[in-house]
Structure 1
Amino acid sequence: MWDYIIIGGGSAGCVLAARLSENPAIQVALLEAGPVDKSVLIHCPAGIAALARNGQANWAFNTTVQPGLNGRRGYQPRGKVLGGSSSVNAMIYVRGQREDYDHWAAEGNPGWSYDEVLPYFKKAEDNARGADAFHGTGGPLHVQDLTSPTDLGPAFIQAGVQAGYPQNMDFNGAVQEGVGMYQVTHKHGERFSAAKAYLTPNLHRPNLHVFTGAHTTRILTERKRAVGVEFVHQGHTKQLRASREVLLCAGALQSPQILMLSGIGPHQHLLEHRIPTVHDLPGVGQQLHDHIDVVQMVHAPKLTQSVGVTPGGIARLIGATLEWRKQRTGLLTTNFAEAGGFVKSQSEEKTPDLQFHFVIAKLVDHGRGTVFGHGYSCHVCLLRPMSRGSVTLESKDPFAAPLIDPNFLGVRDDVERLMRGFRIMRHVLQQPAMQALGGREVAASAQATSDLAIEQFIRDYADTVYHPVGSCRMGPGELDVVDHELRVHGMEGLRVVDASIMPRIVSGNTNAPTIMIAEKAADLIKGAWGTA
């Protein structure tokens, strides 16, 4: 018998496992479907490029056919390893805007305003720049500037300034708007995932047990109370019982799937798959949304400081590999998306609604395809899309992938904003600081000059920037799944703690907010049970 069973060893699950097991009298079990995070490709920051190609530590889901993307299926990578997506992402530390969290609170979620969640961001953080009104030190998660950046990021920032945008030294400070270098979750030249920050230092605790290779099949319930978890481990079906709570942290794509497999979800949909309804909760799997993103790629043959597939580029990577192995410095400490920015698609916007990710390599198909030669890429994503989709079951088989339908570009306003963003991105890349690097925009996007052509390019090439949220939405409404303490409506002993609970996506990368959500949830859980 365990006090708490945590489903999912990703960012949120690692935080909960560490915080709840601080009390030695509390027994905590963590179930992760993937392996231990021991691959060098995880710990080497630039290993993200190889991880994208080989599919290692990745669920590698696909969406359903997307009408808004001209009938294409989008790619949905998710971490399948301790640390979850924090073990395979680009390590960018961004929180979003004050207004994001104030909006959560205004929708009927007390305790989630910016002023109320900021202490949890600071509690989690160990920022190498030091503590101030917005940042913390001494927390588990190390955050720092890139130690060996290329000179391409500063060139992009200069171009942004030339285009009329302010330089911003801290996207997580008082103001988000502007262009600048990203801070990252690095330490000593290695990726600093949620697993490395929260879980690994505490594996010695006798009251914390981690099961890897443990695929959850359903949550066990009795009279609308979660009492345990069934999972497949080493080829055998097993069960664990929880005396206090089951904490679902499987992410925006799999938390709703597990709920529905357990009979918690829309009754008619469960009936279609012959799953007995434990609790009719129509909002499970609804309200899925994500940051839709499109990229421009520039070919620059003489730009050898970029990462490129050429004889010289390969030789440089070999040398960089030796440097990283010996000193943990050099090119392989890059996260590729070294710089970026937050801008408004039009002047009347109150806050930025677009984000740039500037990448020091030519990138196609999420890094899964090989592009020869040197160059760079720039992404623009829509920060607050209006389109909403769903996660549903393809079958009652717990090993089948869920049906993922983000409904990308399903609302015309999303298309218009992304078109404006595309033009703004091109304007920045045409500034003198970027033109001085040489190169030309590749034909696919360069031919998109009219509104019609730009829209066609977006529909042909846009896809996720890996931030699905909202499928177990927090709030008091009929289609909301959890309350403001993340307890599943109509159930006892069951909470959802991950990005799926976001009422509306944050205006930026989602890893830091997910860690914050789990830090706050740990205090909520402790408070509910009167444990420190």
Structure 2
Amino acid sequence: MPAAEFDYIIIGAGTAGCLLANRLSADPSKQVLLIEAGKKDNYIWIHVPVGYLYCIGNPRTDWLYQTEATAGLNGRSLRYPRGKTLGGCSSINGMIYMRGQARDYDTWAQLTGDDDWTWTNALPDFKAHEHHYKLDNGIDPAIGDNSRFSDLHGGDGELRVEKQRLRWEVLDAFAAAANEAGIESTDDFNTGDNAGIGYFEVTQKSGWRWSCAKAFLRPIRHRKNLTVWTESQVERLTFDKTEAGATRCTGAIVRQSGGAVTVRSKGEVILSAGAIGSPQILQLSGVGPAALSQAHGIDVVKDLPGVGENLQDHLQIRAVYKVQNAKTLNTLANSLFGKAMIGLEYMLKRSGPMSMAPSQLGAFTRSDPNRAHANLEYHVQPLSLDAFGEDLHPFPAMTASVCNLNPTSRGHVRITSNRFDLPPEIAPNYLSTEEDRLVAAQSLRQVREIMAKPAMQKYKPQEWKPGVEFQTDEELAKLAGDIANTIFHPTGTAKMGRNDDPSAVVDTKLRVHGIEGLRVVDASIMPQITSGNTNAPTLMIAEKAARYIQSGT
């Protein structure tokens, strides 16, 4: 039976893959195949915002990865969620819309030598798919004329961005305390300078999660030139030699319930399997460190030492404070009556705790005043628990999680076998540098400073974790290792770079070095992690890539 043939084969129907499928199939003369290892997104908890609690750690929607034991976390291993369904991580993530800082993209341009990646040139690609609520009819009654937002935001794209449908008095008090500590309020984290404190904007529509599958796939499922395969996992890529002697990616071998199927590409193969999946597939295909391929009996197609290296992630340190005289989710959701009221509010209004993103209030600030830019991000929540997915504490409390936006620790993703169905080794190496440990200690002190301000005192905050007995940098850094967890932002494992950069995997048009017909388009191409949540930057990357592919560059 001859191999199925397409113009474009997109591997991974996550954030980037969904947008690429939309853009590339807009040309009816091109046949596009989108391959997803997970199932369709017809699981109710994908769509209810609080449903991330039932999607993460669920084999229906999550790859169920674990990290290696990490010295910086005092020997702990972490659960490492990655979306496994249409929409990928956008179907299970925290829904926060955050572009990062202008300096992130200007640094990418400097590192790669390509000005197309500057903030100025990235902004149109952010706006191209954005449907921002502040541009609905040009006016938001709360703030009046919104014409100034049109320079920064898009109003007619596919990705809906809305304000959250709830507020909490205890979070408002934290924001006021942060003001007293010198952190100014902001009404927009996405101007290129996200310093300030305010409620996060989210990728929701009328109280429902608005994943990339909803935004980019559902409106185009009628296109006859778009084929979507679910429950189809790529075993490896295939390659041929051209007449000129170059190596060209020709397609992939895909495992489905009926066995292995070979698909061929007349144009390009695009890897959008994410910062874990994309390097894994490259390594399984013989594209990566030659010694790694040889160790697992895989023929070396291209020796690219950077594949799977340069792993960067945001590690959040969760400081928990007991409070008094405050309404928190701990007390609201720890009774049958409270749960019933929460469910009723969502059913009638699509608001309340069931519409909540995992974090509601955000802040960006500096860990010390000598830094030129905000290097900390706060995720503040009116709740507390021992670990993600566990029961809420039986006492009223709030959590201020803080992460280092610009970690200097670097890790890796490496296959441990030539079997496609075994997970790779994921070693983030958190808190492995002195700078990261110092920032961790400084961030915990800053939380204490905010909690001590007058605006919080009516709630009588009492530090429960890490505990006031820990004071020195060394003690706080060690405690950070005990209580910190990932925010699920892996990036950098197929980094973009110059042709003379031996650690670079793709060029500035996201073409794999030394391989024709193959690109990587997802968060793995980031040379450095962005200063914020990574879903919005991944969409910007995909928007650029679609233009490169369509123009033949």
- TM-score, normalization: structure 1? 0.96
Structure 1 residue 63: deviation in Å?
1.1
Find out whether 1:454 has 2:476 as its counterpart: yes
Distance 1:519 1:445 in 2: 45
Structure 1 residue 465: deviation in Å?
1.1
Distance 2:224 2:171 in 1: 45
Structure 1 residue 368: deviation in Å?
4.0
Find out whether 1:164 has 2:164 as its counterpart: no
- Partner residue in 1 for 2:287: 264
Structure 1 residue 87: deviation in Å?
0.7
The question of whether the paired residues in 1 share the 8 Å contact of 2:170 and 2:326 is answered with: no
Structure 1 residue 473: deviation in Å?
0.3
SS in 2 for 1:515: helix
Task: In structure 1, list runs of 5 or more residues that go unmatched.
Answer: none
User: Aligned ranges for residues 296-335 of structure 1 at < 5 Å?
Assistant: 296-300=319-323, 303-308=326-331, 311-312=334-335, 314-335=336-357
The question of whether the paired residues in 2 share the 8 Å contact of 1:309 and 1:371 is answered with: no
Structure 1 residue 301: deviation in Å?
6.3
Distance 2:58 2:503 in 1: 38
SS in 1 for 2:467: helix
- Partner residue in 2 for 1:67: 71
Which is worse superposed, 153-162 or 76-85? 153-162
Structure 1 residue 306: deviation in Å?
2.3
User: Deviations for 1:36-85, whole angstroms, at most 9, x for unmatched residues?
Assistant: 11122111111122333645411121111211111111221111111111
Distance 1:234 1:55 in 2: 17
Which is worse superposed, 5-14 or 152-161? 152-161
Structure 1 residue 443: deviation in Å?
5.0
| RMSD of aligned alpha carbons | 1.7
Distance 1:368 1:518, change over 3 A: farther
| Matching residue within 498, 501, 504 for 2:522 | 498
Structure 1 residue 107: deviation in Å?
0.7
SS in 2 for 1:169: coil
The question of whether the paired residues in 1 share the 8 Å contact of 2:170 and 2:327 is answered with: no
SS in 1 for 2:533: coil
SS in 2 for 1:64: coil
The question of whether the paired residues in 2 share the 8 Å contact of 1:181 and 1:340 is answered with: yes
Distance 1:39 1:439 in 2: 39
Distance 1:420 1:311 in 2: 33
Distance 1:220 1:321, change over 3 A: same
| Matching residue within 202, 211, 223 for 1:184 | 202
| Matching residue within 83, 90, 108 for 2:94 | 90
- Partner residue in 1 for 2:9: 5
SS in 1 for 2:412: strand
- Partner residue in 1 for 2:171: 153
Distance 1:412 1:366 in 2: 27
Distance 1:310 1:189, change over 3 A: closer
Find out whether 1:383 has 2:401 as its counterpart: no
Structure 1 residue 405: deviation in Å?
0.9
- Partner residue in 2 for 1:274: 297
Distance 1:446 1:60, change over 3 A: farther
Distance 2:510 2:390 in 1: 36
The question of whether the paired residues in 1 share the 8 Å contact of 2:495 and 2:526 is answered with: yes
SS in 1 for 2:177: helix
- Partner residue in 2 for 1:122: 127
| Matching residue within 259, 264, 269 for 1:236 | 259
Which is worse superposed, 160-169 or 44-53? 44-53
Find out whether 1:251 has 2:251 as its counterpart: no
- Partner residue in 1 for 2:151: 133
Structure 1 residue 164: deviation in Å?
1.5
Distance 1:327 1:437 in 2: 29
Distance 1:7 1:129, change over 3 A: same
What one-letter code is carried by the residue in structure 2 that aligns with 1:158? A
Structure 1 residue 319: deviation in Å?
2.2
Structure 1 residue 305: deviation in Å?
3.8
Structure 1 residue 370: deviation in Å?
5.0
User: Aligned ranges for residues 406-485 of structure 1 at < 5 Å?
Assistant: 406-476=428-498, 477-485=501-509
Structure 1 residue 147: deviation in Å?
1.9
Distance 2:87 2:53 in 1: 18
The question of whether the paired residues in 1 share the 8 Å contact of 2:49 and 2:355 is answered with: yes
The question of whether the paired residues in 2 share the 8 Å contact of 1:336 and 1:361 is answered with: no
The number of aligned residues is 528
- Partner residue in 2 for 1:203: 221
The question of whether the paired residues in 2 share the 8 Å contact of 1:391 and 1:404 is answered with: yes
Structure 1 residue 161: deviation in Å?
0.5
What one-letter code is carried by the residue in structure 2 that aligns with 1:515? L
Structure 1 residue 285: deviation in Å?
0.6
Distance 1:155 1:428 in 2: 10
Structure 1 residue 315: deviation in Å?
2.2
Which is worse superposed, 342-351 or 424-433? 424-433
The question of whether the paired residues in 1 share the 8 Å contact of 2:38 and 2:231 is answered with: yes
- Partner residue in 2 for 1:512: 536
Find out whether 1:526 has 2:531 as its counterpart: no
Find out whether 1:218 has 2:236 as its counterpart: yes
The question of whether the paired residues in 2 share the 8 Å contact of 1:68 and 1:409 is answered with: yes
The question of whether the paired residues in 1 share the 8 Å contact of 2:466 and 2:483 is answered with: no
Q: What percentage of aligned pairs have identical amino acids? A: 39
Which is worse superposed, 278-287 or 362-371? 362-371
Distance 1:33 1:309, change over 3 A: farther
User: Deviations for 1:219-248, whole angstroms, at most 9, x for unmatched residues?
Assistant: 111122111111111241111111100000
What one-letter code is carried by the residue in structure 1 that aligns with 2:294? L
Distance 2:249 2:19 in 1: 21
What one-letter code is carried by the residue in structure 2 that aligns with 1:4? Y
Distance 1:345 1:212, change over 3 A: same
What one-letter code is carried by the residue in structure 1 that aligns with 2:205? K
The question of whether the paired residues in 2 share the 8 Å contact of 1:447 and 1:453 is answered with: no
Distance 1:484 1:260, change over 3 A: same
| Matching residue within 395, 399, 419 for 1:397 | 419
Distance 1:366 1:443 in 2: 15
Distance 1:139 1:506 in 2: 23
- Partner residue in 2 for 1:47: 51
The question of whether the paired residues in 1 share the 8 Å contact of 2:119 and 2:192 is answered with: no
The question of whether the paired residues in 2 share the 8 Å contact of 1:92 and 1:184 is answered with: yes
- TM-score, normalization: structure 2? 0.92
The question of whether the paired residues in 2 share the 8 Å contact of 1:301 and 1:373 is answered with: no
Structure 1 residue 293: deviation in Å?
1.5
Task: In structure 2, list runs of 5 or more residues that go unmatched.
Answer: 136-148, 242-246
Distance 2:457 2:436 in 1: 30
Find out whether 1:193 has 2:211 as its counterpart: yes
Distance 2:451 2:531 in 1: 23
Find out whether 1:100 has 2:104 as its counterpart: yes
- Partner residue in 1 for 2:193: 175
Distance 1:54 1:245, change over 3 A: closer
Which is worse superposed, 91-100 or 61-70? 61-70
Structure 1 residue 414: deviation in Å?
0.8
Distance 2:88 2:269 in 1: 19
SS in 1 for 2:34: strand
| Matching residue within 475, 483, 489 for 2:513 | 489
SS in 2 for 1:129: helix
What one-letter code is carried by the residue in structure 1 that aligns with 2:537? P
Distance 1:412 1:293 in 2: 17
The question of whether the paired residues in 2 share the 8 Å contact of 1:61 and 1:75 is answered with: yes
SS in 1 for 2:459: coil
